[in-house]
Structure 1
C-alpha cells in the first residue's frame, strides 16, 4: 500500500519521478562502489595473510637465534651488547584515499643507510647467532609496517563496506519500492479523478442538451 501521506497531485508525481531517477542512479553507484571495495578488501586480506606468515616466521627465526646466542654468551655480555642501539629509525605516518576510505601509510627512514649500523656491539665477544637475530629483526621491519597498514586498512574498509551495504539495501528494498508504489498510487488517483471529471462533464453536457431541447419544444 502507498503511504496515506502522499498527496495525489501532478506536482507530487513529478517530484516522486525525479526522486526515483536519483535513487536508481545512486543505487547503481553504491553497488559499484560496494563491489570495488569488496575486490580491494579481498586483495588486502590475501596480502595481510601472506605478510603475517612472513613476519611471524621472521620473528620466530630471530627468537631462535636469540635463544642460541644467549646459550653461548653470558647474560652480562648479551645485555651490554644490546644496551645502546646504534641505528635510529624515523617513522612517518600519512593517509591515502581508497574509494572514500582514508587508509594509513607508514614510511620509515634510518639515520644511515649502512646495513652494518644495526649492530651496536663489537664482534669480538659476541656470537654469530646474535648477529643473525639482529639482522632478522631489521629485515622484517618493512614487512611489519606494511602488515600494520594492511590490518588497519582492512578494518576501515570492512566498516565502509558494511555502511555501503546498508545504504544499498535501504535503496533497493525500501526507498525505491516505496517510491514506485507512491507513483503508481498517484497515477491511479489522477486517472480516476480524470475519469470522474469526464463523466461529470458528459452529464453536464447531456443536461444542457436536454434543457436546450425542452426550450425548442416550448417555442422559446
Structure 2
C-alpha cells in the first residue's frame, strides 16, 4: 500500500482506490462467511467427536477387562495360538471430501469376505476372550470414524486460523488504509479545486480592472 506522500491526487488514482476498496470489501464478506461456516462445521464435529470418543473408550475398557480376565484363566501360549490367525479380512480405503473448500479425509471400511466367526476353537479358550475379540471387532468402525473426525477437526482448525488472519488483515489493515487514501485524495482534489477557483476569480478581477 503506497504512503500518502507518494500518492498522486488524480481522479484516475481515486477511481483505482475505490475499485480496490470495493473488491476488498466484497472479499472480506466472502471470507467472513467462509469463516462462520467453518466454525459451525468445526463445532458440530467437535461435539460428535466427544460423543464418539466416549463410546469408544467405554468399549475399549470393556475389551481390556475381558482380555485381563482371559489372561488370568488361560496360559499365554494358548492366547497367542488363539489370536495368531485373523478372523476377518478387511480393506480400508481413504478418499477425500470437501468442507468449505477444505479437503478432509473420508475413511471407508469394507470386509473382503463375510466373517466366519472366531478363528479358533472354543474348547481351550474362555468366554472372556471371545467377548474381548467381539468387542474389538465391533469397535473398529468407530475407531476409524473417530480418526476421520479428529483429522477433519485438525484441518478445519488450521483453515479457520488462516481465514481469520486474512479477515483481520482486510478488516484492520487493507480496508482502513484504502479508505484513508481515498479520503486523502478527495481532500487534495478539493484543495486543488478551491485553488483553481481562486485563481479564476483572481484572473477575472485582473481582467475587470
**TM-score band w.r.t. shorter chain:** over 0.9
Matched, 1:196 2:195: yes
- Aligned with 1:37: secondary structure? helix
Q: Under a length normalisation based on structure 2, what TM-score does the superposition of the two structures give?
A: 0.95
Please name the residue that 1:16 is paired with: 17
- Aligned with 2:4: secondary structure? coil
Alignment of 1:26-105 (within 5 A): 26-105=27-106
Task: Tell me the CA shift for residue 169 of structure 1.
Answer: 0.6
Q: Which runs of 4+ in 1 moved over 4 A?
A: none
In 1: Cα distance, 2:74 partner to 2:24 partner: 71
In 2: Cα distance, 1:191 partner to 1:49 partner: 61
Please name the residue that 2:108 is paired with: 107
Task: Tell me the CA shift for residue 60 of structure 1.
Answer: 0.9
Q: Deviations over 1:2-52 (max 9, x none)?
A: 722221110010001111111111111111111111111011111111111
Matched, 1:177 2:172: no
Which has the greater radius of gyration?
Answer: 1
Q: Deviations over 1:180-217 (max 9, x none)?
A: 1110100010011011011111111221221xxxxxxx
Please name the residue that 1:209 is paired with: 208
In 2: Cα distance, 1:153 partner to 1:130 partner: 34
In 2: Cα distance, 1:164 partner to 1:180 partner: 22
Task: Tell me the CA shift for residue 54 of structure 1.
Answer: 1.2
Q: Gaps spanning 5+ residues in structure 2: where?
A: none
Task: Tell me the CA shift for residue 150 of structure 1.
Answer: 0.8
Q: Deviations over 1:163-189 (max 9, x none)?
A: 111111111111111111110100010
- Aligned with 1:90: secondary structure? strand
- Aligned with 1:120: secondary structure? coil
- Aligned with 1:4: secondary structure? helix
Q: Under a length normalisation based on structure 1, what TM-score does the superposition of the two structures give?
A: 0.91
Please name the residue that 2:138 is paired with: 139
Q: CA RMSD in A?
A: 1.2
In 2: Cα distance, 1:201 partner to 1:33 partner: 54
In 2: Cα distance, 1:162 partner to 1:3 partner: 32
The number of aligned residues is 207
In 2: Cα distance, 1:202 partner to 1:164 partner: 55
Task: Tell me the CA shift for residue 113 of structure 1.
Answer: 2.7
